[in-house]
């Protein structure tokens, strides 16, 4: 339920991350959380290749694009069909926009393909983000907690996140997903890396050697030299811990900190 006076607002959130980082689980958990906060929310699945999901999407790209049909029609294997399907998604932008509008939602959570590169690094993804309604948009980027617990992997994720921002240029929230799988001290350490370049550089110097240390340190410095910051919000889709902090971060983007829920 909107609290923005008599005007109607709709907030669009794209959820992006590497394969297995928990995009669909977050979509399910955050959708339930928003509904409990009296928010009119719908979910959109943009992954044409997914077999099972932890939620039932209100709008499903699989209703229009079927991997099996593409494989048969063009003689492609699964990977080739997924690549073609990613490009075909752009052609469904107008139809998806009409479907979204028909629900008259306040909040739209868009679950992007499991293989991040199919959406983020092909032309169809930025086109859809730009053209799918003219409403306010934001992006949630997931740092997989287990993967990110090593400094070299964390720096790799920093670069991926920076590359995603460079592709879409919309406000971006960064979360440490599935943090319930880590001991609290490891979670706190990763969050410290995201808040303090010095803490990250110390970890790189202490835990990496040779070329890995040099490359990770230089990559990290390049990112911070660009003025980019990736403060992580730990979130567990299993326990719902951190969802209120994620919601607060989105409120700062969409309403300058005012509540959009009652």
Q: Which residues of the chain have pLDDT under 70?
A: 1-8, 257-262
Return the domain boundaries, the chain: 11-255
In this prediction, residue 261 carries a pLDDT of 52
Predicted local distance difference test score (pLDDT) of residue 13: 98
pLDDT of residue 257: 61
The one-character DSSP state at 145 is: T
**pLDDT at residue number 3:** 40
pLDDT of residue 9: 81
- Confidence (pLDDT) at 210: 96
Per-residue pLDDT, 63: 94
Beta strands in 92-150 (DSSP E): 107-111, 136-144
CA-angle at 60, arms to 91 and 251, nearest 5°: 95
Q: What's the pLDDT score for residue 193?
A: 97
Supply the pLDDT for residue 120: 94
- State whether residue 3 is helix, strand or coil: coil
- Which CATH superfamily hosts domain 11-255? P-loop containing nucleotide triphosphate hydrolases (3.40.50.300)
> What does the pLDDT read at residue 49?
87
Q: Is the backbone of residue 177 left (phi > 0), alpha (psi -120 to 50) or beta?
A: beta
The two structure tokens encoding residue 60: 């499903």
Q: Would the pTM count as exceeding 0.85? A: yes
Looking at residue 39, its pLDDT comes to 92
The reported pLDDT for the residue numbered 7 is: 53
Contact 138, 253 (CB under 8 A): yes
- CB atoms near residue 12 (< 10 Å): 22
């Amino acid at each position: 339920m909107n609290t923005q006076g008599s005007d109607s607002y709709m907030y669009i959130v794209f959820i992006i991350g590497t394969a297995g980082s928990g995009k669909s689980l977050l979509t399910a958990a955050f959708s339930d959380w928003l509904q409990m906060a009296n928010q009119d929310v719908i979910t959109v699945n943009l992954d044409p290749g997914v077999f099972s999901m932890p939620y039932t999407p209100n709008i499903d790209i699989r209703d229009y694009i079927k991997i099996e049909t593409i494989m048969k029609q063009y003689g492609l294997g699964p990977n080739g069909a997924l690549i073609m399907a990613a490009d075909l998604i752009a052609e469904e932008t107008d139809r998806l926009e009409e479907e979204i509008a028909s629900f008259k939602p306040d909040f739209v959570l868009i679950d992007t393909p499991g293989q991040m590169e199919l959406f983020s690094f092909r032309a169809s993804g930025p086109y859809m983000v730009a053209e799918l309604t003219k409403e306010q948009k934001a992006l949630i980027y997931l740092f997989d907690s287990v993967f990110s617990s090593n400094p070299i992997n964390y720096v790799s994720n920093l670069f991926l996140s920076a590359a995603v921002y460079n592709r879409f240029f919309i406000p971006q929230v960064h979360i440490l997903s599935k943090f319930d799988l880590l001991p609290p001290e490891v979670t706190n350490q990763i969050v410290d890396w995201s808040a303090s370049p010095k803490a990250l550089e110390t970890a790189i110097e202490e835990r990496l050697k040779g070329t890995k240390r040099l490359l990770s340190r230089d990559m990290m410095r390049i990112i911070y030299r660009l003025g980019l910051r990736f403060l992580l919000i730990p979130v567990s889709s299993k326990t719902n811990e951190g969802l209120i902090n994620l919601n607060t971060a989105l409120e700062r983007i969409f309403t300058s900190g005012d509540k959009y829920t009652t």
